[in-house]
Homo-oligomer: A and B are copies of this chain.
Amino acid sequence: MSNDLNLEDFLPYRLAILSHSVSHSIATVYYDRFDLSIPEWRVIAIVGRFPGLSAVEVAERTVMDKVAVSRAVTKLIKNGRIDRQFADADRRRSILNLSEKGLALHNEVAPFAMKMEADLLADLTEDEVEVLDTVIDKLYAKAQLFTAPEPESLPQKR
């Protein structure tokens, strides 16, 4: 195998750059218009879609840095956009839901987010959109397999 890693062509790196760029471009606008950071919007979207998740489950689904998510949840609670309840008397498990204010915000940002998504996809052909969809599913499924790889297929431990 060659040692010549051309980073600009390396798929994991290209996906990281693309994902960051897409989230960041949309977030620039969220931030200006709705006073929402990327993690805050992602928390709002996830709690809107899956009401009653715990804070830990929300953090898992955002696939973002745990500290950033925790900071976002704290700010959203403080701003009255998220309601937190505790499932146990000993407060071990918190349950998050959108407040009335949070739901109104969600319903204002959601169509805007979908418009941005449509604009992003506008230059793609129908075929490209379809292939992109298939490819994302295939790559995701394959990556899940790798998370617990067969030991014999790997190089020796150093």
Contacts and interface: CB of A to CB of B under 8 A. Distances in A.
Interface of A: 1-7, 10-26, 28-29, 32-35, 42, 45-46, 48-49, 63-65, 67-68, 106-107, 110-117, 119-124, 127-128, 131-132, 134-136, 138-140, 142-149, 154-155, 157-158
Contacts of A24: 143, 147
Given A63-B16, A113-B10, A136-B14, A157 B33 contact: yes
A146 to B, nearest CB: 4
Nearest to A24: B147
B32 A157 contact: yes
B139 A131 contact: no
B68 A154 contact: no
A68 to B, nearest CB: 7
Nearest to A41: B12
B17 A18 contact: no
Contact of A22 (B11, B29, B33, B49): B11
Contacts of A10: 45, 113-114, 117
